[in-house]
A and B are shown apart, each in its own frame.
Chain A
Amino acid sequence: AQSVTQLDSHVSVSEGTPVLLRCNYSSSYSPSLFWYVQHPNKGLQLLLKYTSAATLVKGINGFEAEFKKSETSFHLTKPSAHMSDAAEYFCVVSDLGYNKLIFGAGTRLAVHP
């Protein structure tokens, strides 16, 4: 069975400093992995996706993630945080066998001036 673990429920950074949101997954075969962002009272916006092409995936708003099969990780990074990045972030794996997404518990990112 596939699963996703987001290692931090809350991350707090200062504006202009790097962001690291950690995600580990388990999968019995090559997964498709996604990062989504959710602002308060909004739906989810796709940041980036990995679907067995390049292991370093670049997304919107300066975010990127690296797929590391040996570590079963898909951590999300950004070189310099903006105040507008404050939101909830979800790491998601696609369960191909069951036609659905498996969500991590989410990481709330706070950005301080």
Chain B
Amino acid sequence: GAVVSQHPSWVICKSGTSVKIECRSLDFQATTMFWYRQFPKQSLMLMATSNEGSKATYEQGVEKDKFLINHASLTLSTLTVTSAHPEDSSFYICSAREGGLNQPQHFGDGTRLSIL
């Protein structure tokens, strides 16, 4: 149980394009979803938290117009990197939580984004 699917797993695109990453909870309803960014050999950096049907809460220093998050249903959240540039290249990971604050987050397998 508690499977989170993230798609795509790899994406390479040209500078200036927009890229959408999907995160789905397959066997549970996710009241809250999270988006993280991970640099090589480093821990995860929380970018934003989203609850279904409401606007995402962004962490300090994360550009909300650059990283658009939509949480349209209890099983789907999307992250769109707009007008991507090489410095946006990174490993992006989503997670989903079912229920209250003391419940664990379940993570997707991540998306490796490379901007040429």
Q: Main secondary structure on chain A at its contact with chain B?
A: strand
Q: With A42-B110, A43-B108, A99-B49 in contact, do A94 and B43 touch (Cβ < 8 Å)?
A: no
Q: Main secondary structure on chain B at its contact with chain A?
A: strand
Contacts of A52 in B (CB 8 A): 102
19 contacts between A and B (CB under 8 A): A41-B91, A41-B110, A43-B4, A43-B108, A44-B95, A44-B107, A46-B2, A46-B104, A46-B106, A49-B104, A51-B102, A90-B43, A94-B102, A99-B101, A100-B34, A100-B46, A101-B46, A103-B43, A103-B44
A82 to B112, CA, bound (A): 28
Q: Is B105 an interface residue (CB 8 A)?
A: yes
Of A32, A42, A100, A101, the residue contacting B109 (CB under 8 A) is A42
Q: Is B32 an interface residue (CB 8 A)?
A: yes
Q: Is A36 an interface residue (CB 8 A)?
A: yes
A45 to B110, CA, bound (A): 12
Q: How far is the CB of A29 from chain B (nearest CB, A)?
A: 11
Chain B residue at smallest Cβ distance from A34: B104
Binary CB contact string for chain B from 1 to 22 against chain A (1 if under 8 A, 0 otherwise): 0101010000000000000000
A80 to B2, CA, bound (A): 27
Which residues of chain B have a CB within 8 Å of any CB of chain A? 2, 4, 6, 32, 34, 42-44, 46, 49, 91, 93, 95, 101-102, 104-110, 112
A98 to B109, CA, bound (A): 25
Contacts of A36 in B (CB 8 A): 107
A104 to B43, CA, bound (A): 7
A45 to B93, CA, bound (A): 12
- Asked if B112 contacts A41 (CB within 8 A), the reply is yes
Contacts of A106 in B (CB 8 A): 42-43
Of A44, A46, A94, the residue contacting B93 (CB under 8 A) is A44
